[in-house]
Amino acid sequence: MPSRLRLFVKKRGTRRTGARWPGMLGEAVLFLGLIAIGAYGLYWLIGGVLLAEGSRHGWWPWLAIVIPIALVGYGLMGLVLLLWQNVASSERRAAVVQKATEWELPVGPGKAGRISLPAVPPVDAVMDSPGVRLAYRLPIDAASGWVSFTMAAVCLVWNSLVAIFVYRVIQQHIEGRPNWLLTWLMVPFVLAGVWTLVALARQLALEIVIGTTRVEVSHHPLYPGGTFQGFVSQTGRLHVRWFQVQLVCEEQAVYQQGTDTRRATSRVYRATLFSQRKFDIRPQQAFDADFTFSVPASAMHSFVSGHNGVIWTLVVRGRMARWGEFERRFPVYVYPARSLDTPLRESFIARAGKTL
């Protein structure tokens, strides 16, 4: 059926129900418009100010010239990109990108001779940190640190703003001309500020009281069908109600919904590797435990691309008396089993060398 012009089309992320050409035309007009405005701005600044007024114009035209240059540059880049997208197929563009970045080589020796696979995250972050009991100490997922940082930032900004208004309100009361409407309006804002302070204090106390969690593994990268040794160590002064170590695999997908970018997560595998109930951890004696775990033989390897991923993690979680639940995540990398097979690996590396 021939496509016809429709004013309203449904857009689902980058997929759309309408024809592509009106959008491309619109983009081309926009970029040409930016180039035209930038060119006119340059003409006016150079011809009408810089050359016409001699040295009387001062320094401002030199600063202002950045704006039309930016418009012309942005427009030209957009136009070239648009032309390239329409002249070349998506496969040809991907092939050019691959050639330029050498990202998609079958396999190549990574840092210190480590294996490096397409669309599989590198293991350098884990292998650079030796363990005390086992070969590798796993780095903690940075997300938990960001929670404290974000809470601290929100608390600081919110309470600083509230403090300015509270100071003003108190000053009015001292001067004998109170503004009661503003005073009562401030109450919920002050309460919210107190709540952010309490939440931050609790988060920091949780970080301090629970202490350090250390996880080590005997091998890295892991591979499907393999059995590995693990070790967990927990410090602090705690009465533990339950404590677990789990191996978890999650799929992650980033997608557009309207103008929002959203992330969906689906847990596809979870196995409890270690579990213990009701015990105490004392500051002098860390809680240590060994465990053995396997990755299922038919499991998907770790995978990462622009918007999609398969993430494997060792999760330490527990519930402490008075402090509630906590969870700490330690990413691990599962490589395809055959990529660790020595003859195949050597043949790949030799072929990659020839390609280069």
Which residue, 41 or 221, has its beta carbon nearer to another protein?
A: 221
Q: How far is residue 312's CA from residue 222's CA, in Å, rounded to a whole number? A: 10
Which residue, 104 or 280, has its beta carbon nearer to another protein?
A: 104
State the residue for tokens 């035309």: 25
Least distance CB 117 / another protein (angstroms): 4
What angle separates helix 180-210 from helix 143-174, to the nearest 10 degrees?
Answer: 150
> Which residues contact another protein by CB under 8 A?
13-14, 89-92, 94-95, 98, 103-104, 106-107, 117-120, 241-244, 246, 249, 251-256, 264, 266-272, 275, 277, 296, 298-301, 303, 305-310, 319, 335-336, 338-339, 344, 347-348, 351
Label residue 300 exposed, middle or buried (CB < 10 Å: 0-12, 13-18, 19+).
middle
Centroid of chain to Cα 79: 30
Which residue, 303 or 330, has its beta carbon nearer to another protein?
A: 303
Which residue, 227 or 347, has its beta carbon nearer to another protein?
A: 347
Least distance CB 291 / another protein (angstroms): 12
C-alpha dist (Å) from residue 214 to 115, 230, 234: 26, 11, 6
Least distance CB 74 / another protein (angstroms): 24
Helix-, strand-, coil-residue percentages of the chain, each rounded to 5: 45, 30, 25
Both tokens of 47, joined, read 């011809």
Least distance CB 109 / another protein (angstroms): 13
Which residue, 219 or 319, has its beta carbon nearer to another protein?
A: 319
Sort strands 287-294 and 260-281 into parallel, antiparallel or unpaired. unpaired
Which residue, 150 or 265, has its beta carbon nearer to another protein?
A: 265
Least distance CB 344 / another protein (angstroms): 5
Which residue, 219 or 241, has its beta carbon nearer to another protein?
A: 241
DSSP conformation letters of 34-80? HHHHHHHHHHIIIIIIITTSTTTT-SHHHHHTHHHHHHHHHHHHHHH
Q: How far is residue 156's CA from residue 160's CA, in Å, rounded to a whole number? A: 6
- Please give the radius of gyration of the chain, using alpha carbons only, rounded to the nearest integer: 30
The distance between the two most distant Cα atoms of the chain, rounded to a whole number of Å, is 87
Q: Which phi and psi (to 5°) does residue 283 adopt?
A: -60, -30
Least distance CB 256 / another protein (angstroms): 7
Least distance CB 121 / another protein (angstroms): 11
Which residue, 165 or 255, has its beta carbon nearer to another protein?
A: 255
Least distance CB 300 / another protein (angstroms): 5
DSSP conformation letters of 182-229? HHHHHHHHHHHHHHHHHHHHHHHHHHHHH--EEEEESSSSB-TT-EEE
Q: Collapsing DSSP states into helix, strand and coil, what is residue 88? A: coil
Length of the chain equals 356
Least distance CB 69 / another protein (angstroms): 33
Which residue, 116 or 233, has its beta carbon nearer to another protein?
A: 116
